[in-house]
Structures are given as C-alpha cells and as structure tokens.
Structure 1
C-alpha cells in the first residue's frame, strides 16, 4: 500500500484538558494549533524538564521558571510572549484529562465520521458530477457514465488487474494502448467521426484527449442549451456505437463496417429527438423518422443491386436510383436536405420552392410546421458511394481496370507461373489494397496462398520481401488470411528470417508482417520460441539508425510483452531492457511510447528484479522523468509515474542514477 494512502488514527484523537496533571505540556497534542514543542522550538530547547505537565507549568511562578537560562531578546522573546498569551487563555477544571474524537463536535467516536475520512482518502476523487441525458436510452447513459469513471473493461484496465491477455493494443487502430481515453477520444477512428459530428452541427472541431477535456469543450460551445443537451446525447450515442463496434471486431467472425457507426448514429438521433425547440419557442426541425429512412435505404440498396445487374458497356446509359433524384428537379441530388415531413429534396430546389412563398411540402402537400431543413447525411453518403462506384468508374474506364477482369488476369498469371514473378506479386498487392472484397477473392483462389508461401522459401531476397508484403497486405485486410499465416509455423519462421537480413527493406517487410499477424497468444509464443526477442535486443543494442526499423522492433516487443512467455524472454535477454531505455526520446514519439510500454510490462507488471536493475543502470529513472515532462499521451505519462515508483526502490535517491550525459538527450 502507498504511504500516502495510510490513515493514522492517532492523529484524529485529541487531548481535552481537565486538571492538566496527566498531560505533558510540550509533547502531547492538547492544543488545537498543534504540539507546543513544534510551535515554539526555541522555548522547548530552553526547557530543562521536557516532560513537565500542563498543571505544573501553569501553576509555576512563570513559564520560564524551569528554563536553563534567561530568555534573550529577538525570536526567543517573541516566542515567550506568544506562549504567555496562549497560556492565559487556558482554564483548568477539576476533572481528569481525556481523549476526544476530533471529527465530531461532541468529541464522541462515530463510524460515519471515520468512514468519510476513509472514503475521501481512498476512493477516486470525482471532480465532475455525473451527467444523465434523459432523452437517450438507459444503456447509453450507463456507457457514458463508465467512460467518465474509467470503468469499462478495456485491455489496459484488464491487464492492470493482473489478468494475462493476448495484447493491450487498441484493436481498432493498432497504434496505441487500449485505454478509455484512447478508444473514446484519441483513436484515429473516433477522431474522424468527431470531425464529422462537428461538420454536421456546424461547430468548431477541437481534439480532446480525455473526458474532462471533452466536458470543458462542450461547456464552451455557444449554442442553445437545449441543442447542447441534444449534442451531448449524440456523443453518448457515439460512445455506445463505438464500444459495440469494438466488441464485434474482437468477438464476431465477420468484421463490422466502420462507416456504419456514423450512419447509425444519425439514424438514432432521428429516432430519439423528434423536435428541438430553439429561441422564441420555434420548432427548427424534425429529424427524419427511422422507419421512413429504413424504407429509403432498403429501396436504394435494391436499386443499386438492379443497376449492378444492368451494368454493361460504357455506351449504355447510367441508371440512377429513384431515391437519389430530387422530387422537384428529378436530377441527382448534390445536397440532400429533409423537411419536417421527412421528405428529402435537393437544397437548391426546395429553397426556390420556399422562397416563392409556399408553406407546404411539394410531395405530400402537408402544411409545414417549420421551413427549416436538416441535411440528410446518410443519403448524401449513399449518393457519393454510388457516384464513385459507377459514374466515375465509367468516365475513367480507359485508365482504370475492372475488378473481375483483373481477377481473371491474376488467375491466369498465378496458374501459368510455377513461381510468381515480382511484377505479379506487385499486381497482387495493388489488387488486394483496392477493396476488402478483393482480399476475400484472393484468399478463396485455389493454390494462391501456397504459391505465395513458396515464394518465401526461395533464395531470392527480393522475392521473399515481395511475398512478405503480399501476406502483410492480405493479413491486414482479411481475418482469415491472418489466421492462415499465423497458424503456419514455417511461414512465421520465414518471416522471422527476413528480420535477420542486412537489407533494410527486407527487415521492414518482415517486421511489418509479423506485427500484423502477431495478434493471438499462440502466435506470440511461437515468435518467442523462434528467438524474436533476442533478435530485437541485438537490433536495439546495435548501431541501427533506421527510424522505421527501430519503431517496428519496439512495437513488436510491446506486443510480445503482453504474454507471460514474452515478458520472461525480455527479462532474460540482457539487451532488450537496456536497449529500450537507451532508445527513449532518441528515435520518434511512437518509438518512445512503445519503449515505455515494454519497460512498464517487465518492470511494473512482472516486477522482475533483473529488469528493474537493468533499467536503473541505464539511467532509466532520469530518462523516464524526462519522458513524463515531454508531450506524451496521458496513458504513457501514467505508466511513467508507476515506473518511477518502482525504480526509486532500486536507487538510493530520486536522482541517484543521474549522469551528466542524460542532459544532452534531444527529443527526436
């Protein structure tokens, strides 16, 4: 237990004077201001009877009667005068001295008072009140409350409870430790959606890193209070959809679509918030109804499928789904907006209709309660997707390729070549990166994976590097491909052999592929068995200058350190911990964060004595203090604080291991 968390019960009791015969004048805590020997140190130094009672001192001819010498002018005289004034206020009564409970006014002990002290000392300080938006479902409010109190079972929170998990890396971006602040405020995906929300609401976007910063930003927005309540509910809904997406990504076989998060959020807002009241009690909008929108989207999907079936040569006319056409102009809508009736029009057409003096909906002829319009972002996105997929492809048909034709060409190349050439492998990479469907087509292609893995077994370093790039591309986009590569020990061994090459491109390709496939505990154990920890230690200890290589080495070590076997191997290798400490603030911000995670795993989580001593020996304590003062994420700063507590035990003082050369560390 931390010393700061200790509660000294003795300090809560206070002596209450009676006749003063059992209370020591200088030593006991009988005065509200404190112990007199601490309040008047000069007088206590002159006192010959240190254990004199209150009764004996007050009944003496004077307070300096038992002093060793006369009091001198200056500070001693000032303290004697103050002590005399204090003693004149004391009145002794004919009863015994006794202890009283200082937390209660009547001096009697109560469980409630000590419970308040314990709760205030041990429980988390809640500086912000709990927010509860009544318009959103209870389950959404609960998620928001858990985000605020950091009570969600994120990978980092689970690992802090001592549970051994495959990885603490964020499964969405694979670029940081999955903490509450990261997944809901710092992840690339959530920041993209927050930008869309800011554009949707026409407010300034600001990057925030925690719930507290988000609350400050929300309070600072200058909009109507009722609208601000709606906006708060929108963010609550975003967190719920984001957490749901994360769980599906981890536990469902089918990978969920990121783009649906924002679309579902807009649809939910349309269902929850029917009308919003603004200044002068004017209704500004009625978000389109969910049922109507589902019917629209279903009809759009049907017509898209129909247009796909009817798609032919470039000379055939383009078939536009009817829901993409404005009911007024009958042209494809460029800026679809919805009226309070739920019908969507193109902005230019409906504005002309309203400016002409009409107060009805052109399609339904219903009288409008409000002439304000709301952007139909879901329909706008569907039009954009359709346009990119069909119109632009037909216009650029001469310079682009058709997926089916390219697949047939790749089939011929793969079947007719015993060993795929480098150009074929490059074409495969381009084809796979174009869409997730292409990856699935390649995975199902008979004999394809076998030939790529055969390329890894060739002597040509260039061919092995290209094959590693293909496997990395497929594994990054397709779960089944990742599983096939991870389950093949021979393929893992070949990828590992690339990391020991003298060619930087080959090393980069091997490390990138291993990082992509090393997501399961079994794969990490296999990499540890192959010797990836020793190889990484040699790279860190060697003269390697490539920033990308060092970043990937530290990233791979961070992933391996999430399993027990990996942490054990890192602790046993003499170069890993010292190399990670040595690379702190010398490579890049990403490399520094990866290195901190590695050091934290072995020194704080495992509490390995050898690793702690190696970190202290390399001036780790001082460097970690420097990292804490740099521009790092709040989670890394928290890890640094925990490391400082652990490493201080192995050093004589806070800066015992300080050496002058550490002052010359320049940040990146």
Structure 2
C-alpha cells in the first residue's frame, strides 16, 4: 500500500549559473519517491501509520486516538469484527510500537519522521488522586503542596486533548474553583498564594464551560475580589485568565448580580475598553460588559453606571479605529444596549459621529453587527422623549446614505426583528428624502446579490 511520504534524491547548486545535480537515475532536481508501509502498521480506522497502537478486548489493534474517537462517539463494538466489546480497556501494544519505530528509523532517509514513544495517557484514578490531594492541601491552606498538584494537572492537560477530557470528566473544574475560593479568602493571598491562584486560573481557562459548582465558588465575594485584583495588578497572562474567567461567569445570568456588586469591576472594564492593550482582554471585557447590561435583573442599573463612565464615547472611538470583526460586533452590541436607556441616548446624541458610524457599519462587518447597528439607529430615530434629537438623527442618517443601505438590508435578508426595525426606519425617513438623501456608492461595490 502506498503512503504519502516522499523524499528528495537530488539537490541543486550553482555552477556558472547552471544547476548541478547529484544522485543517480534521471537526476531531476526534485525526484520524489513513494514509500510503501506494511499493512499491519496501519490503523484499521484511519488507514494511517499508527503512532500509539493499543489492543482492544477483541484482539484487534488500533491507533489510540482513532479508537478513542470511535468509543467516545457512543460505539460499543469493535470496528473490524463488529462484536460487542467485553471491556473498553486499551492495552498498549509495545511490541508493535517498537517495530513501527524501528521501521521509521530504517527509512528515515526516505523522509520518514522520527516516531516518538507516546506518553502514557492519564488515568481517571490518577486524576482523582491528585484532586483529593488538592482538596486536602486547600483545607490545610498548604500553598506549596497545592501548587505542586495543580502543576501536575497543568502538565497532564498540556500533553494531549485526551488528557484534558479525562481531567474535566473527573470534576477538576469544581475542585480547582473551590481551591481558588479557599486561597482567595485568606487575607494574605497576595503574598503567599498569588502564583498558585494564577496557576489555578490558567488550568481553568481550558476547562470552559464550567459546571454549576465551579460557578458557585468563583462567584463568591472573595473570588471575585481576587479576580479584580488580578485585573489591576497581574501581568498580561494573569489578566487574560482573570478576564476570561469573568466572561465565563457573566454568561450565567444568576451570577451577574454578584459581578455587578464587585468593587472596582466596572472601572476596570471601562479602562480595558478605553485603552486596549491586548485583543483577548479587550474582547472579553466587551463581552462581560454586554452580559452585565443585558441582564434582566440588573440591566437598567448597569447601563446607567457605564453611561456615567463615558463608555458611549469610548465605544465610538473603538468603532472608528478597530478593523477586528469580533471587536466591532461586541462594541456595537454594548452601544446598542447603552442606547436603550435615556441617559445613553443623550450621550449618543451629543456625539456628532454616532449616526454616521452606525450607518457606516451596516453591511460592512457582519450580519450580527448589522443587526446591532440597525437596532441602535432605530432607538435613536424613534426616541419620543426628545423630538429635536430624534429629528436630527433622521436627518443625519439620510445625509450619510442610510435609506439605500436599509433597502439593501431588506433585499439581502436579515433577522425578522431587524427587518421590522429597518422597515419602520424607512417609513420615517421617506417623507424627508427629497433634498437630504445622499448615497455613498463605495459602500455598495462589493455587496453580493442574494439571488
């Protein structure tokens, strides 16, 4: 059976402007040669060379990664024999692996890469043992021992995706969150536990989404205060892990109240948005803000808090400067939320760039961004509480080509809610089109028809 490894048999150099070839045969500069792999070295599932052969109870050998995917998909049979497996144990086939490695070494001149000895996957009982150790070390507030054990979890997780799944499946997230809460509650954690807490956050970052129990521990007052402390005082990595943890918590509406009551959180979020230094931190800060102002329980209060911190003008600056699709979507989402309150609309009206920026983003970023931009325009142009501002917003929208863009939104297709708002905006603008409407053709050059 042929396999896709190939080698070069000749090299080229320069000799008076002419290429010099080495080797025998036809001496072509790039002579490629296929290499046949023994059939018993191939995984019956992937038909590729096995790097970690394991044998099932059926006696058939597979590559570990392939058979694990098969079993995790809910299959209970051997793929070759189609018989129900009496056990799901995967026994390493050391003899076959050694033969494959020897074969690879012998054929290295053909371009076969060295086949390393695979790491033994972590077993559930090993994970449980380490987690029990973390629990005990947390109860004793033994920072050194807990740090060593968390390091093991990190090491295992870094070795393979399979290890990560095993670690998460055995309840690591809730245990690490409990340890974080315990050490965060100590009055001197900044001195004795700062590094440990960073390690815990780093490990948790690849366990998202977290379970309910983990949310409970991370949403405690001590944990949230510690997370904000990292946002203010940690290095870039610590800040990233802390803000991503807050993003995870804010996605659960039950926790938004606790987040909203955390001292210093709002100021820190606005600071990250106002002075973007890292894309991950900026996006996560916008996501946390969006989740807070979208909360059914505290949304109105949160909007007012962020409006008073001049977040509206900061968002408009981001929309002018940023070309990142995700950042623009989130910034438009937050802006739409803030415009939902009267104070937010006042701030938006006060900035002459608000309407032009919103119109500019329609059909220029993504469907989600268009939905947010149209919704924001609708809120500004339908504001019954301020007739003067409402009329000015309609005029500004017409003068920057909003009418034609909204027609295109309807023609190209959009969400039902956006369609209703776009239609209503068109009705409001239509009587004033004469003498006011302006079309910016550059915005329509690259649009694709929906038919």
Specify the TM-score bucket, using the shorter chain as the normaliser. 0.5 to 0.7
Cα separation, 1, equivalents of 2:421 and 2:262: 35
Asked if the contact 2:362–2:369 (Cα under 8 Å) also holds between the matched residues in 1, the reply is yes
Structure 2 partner of 1:434: 210
Matched, 1:658 2:432: no
Q: Of residues 173, 178, 193 in structure 2, which corresponds to 1:417?
A: 193
Structure 2 partner of 1:633: 415
Matched, 1:475 2:250: yes
Cα separation, 1, equivalents of 2:429 and 2:243: 40
Asked if the contact 2:183–2:197 (Cα under 8 Å) also holds between the matched residues in 1, the reply is no
Cα separation, 1, equivalents of 2:307 and 2:168: 47
Matched, 1:402 2:176: no
> For the structure 1 residues 407 and 457, does the alpha-carbon distance in structure 2 shift closer, same or farther, using more than 3 Å as the test?
closer
What does 1:343-358 align with in structure 2 at a 5 Å threshold? none
Cα separation, 1, equivalents of 2:265 and 2:176: 27
> For the structure 1 residues 515 and 438, does the alpha-carbon distance in structure 2 shift closer, same or farther, using more than 3 Å as the test?
same
Asked if the contact 1:616–1:647 (Cα under 8 Å) also holds between the matched residues in 2, the reply is yes
Specify the structure having the higher radius of gyration (Cα): 1
Cα separation, 2, equivalents of 1:531 and 1:461: 25
Aligned residues: 273
Matched, 1:598 2:372: no
Cα separation, 2, equivalents of 1:555 and 1:453: 23
Unaligned runs of 5+ in 1: 1-311, 315-395
Matched, 1:492 2:263: no
Superimposed CA distance per residue, residues 602-651 of structure 1 (whole angstroms, 9 cap, x where no aligned partner): 01234512222221121111111111111102221111111112222332
Superimposed CA distance per residue, residues 434-480 of structure 1 (whole angstroms, 9 cap, x where no aligned partner): 31222113334x7222211111221634433322211121121251x
Structure 2 partner of 1:589: 367
What is the DSSP-based 3-state SS (H/G/I as helix, E as strand, rest coil) of the residue aligned with 1:545? Answer: coil
Matched, 1:548 2:326: yes
Q: Of residues 439, 450, 453 in structure 1, which corresponds to 2:225?
A: 450
What does 1:280-359 align with in structure 2 at a 5 Å threshold? none
Structure 2 partner of 1:465: 240
> For the structure 1 residues 541 and 649, does the alpha-carbon distance in structure 2 shift closer, same or farther, using more than 3 Å as the test?
farther
Cα separation, 1, equivalents of 2:267 and 2:232: 10
What is the DSSP-based 3-state SS (H/G/I as helix, E as strand, rest coil) of the residue aligned with 2:426? Answer: helix
Asked if the contact 1:440–1:478 (Cα under 8 Å) also holds between the matched residues in 2, the reply is no
Cα separation, 2, equivalents of 1:496 and 1:398: 35
> For the structure 1 residues 617 and 477, does the alpha-carbon distance in structure 2 shift closer, same or farther, using more than 3 Å as the test?
same
Structure 1 partner of 2:424: 642
Unaligned runs of 5+ in 2: 1-123, 127-164
Superimposed CA distance per residue, residues 8-51 of structure 1 (whole angstroms, 9 cap, x where no aligned partner): xxxxxxxxxxxxxxxxxxxxxxxxxxxxxxxxxxxxxxxxxxxx
> For the structure 1 residues 584 and 409, does the alpha-carbon distance in structure 2 shift closer, same or farther, using more than 3 Å as the test?
same
Cα separation, 1, equivalents of 2:401 and 2:167: 62
Cα separation, 1, equivalents of 2:391 and 2:419: 22
> For the structure 1 residues 449 and 581, does the alpha-carbon distance in structure 2 shift closer, same or farther, using more than 3 Å as the test?
same
What is the DSSP-based 3-state SS (H/G/I as helix, E as strand, rest coil) of the residue aligned with 2:376? Answer: helix
Cα separation, 1, equivalents of 2:234 and 2:180: 24
Cα separation, 2, equivalents of 1:657 and 1:644: 14
Matched, 1:513 2:288: yes
Deviation, structure 1 residue 408: 5.4
Cα separation, 2, equivalents of 1:564 and 1:457: 31
Structure 2 partner of 1:621: 403
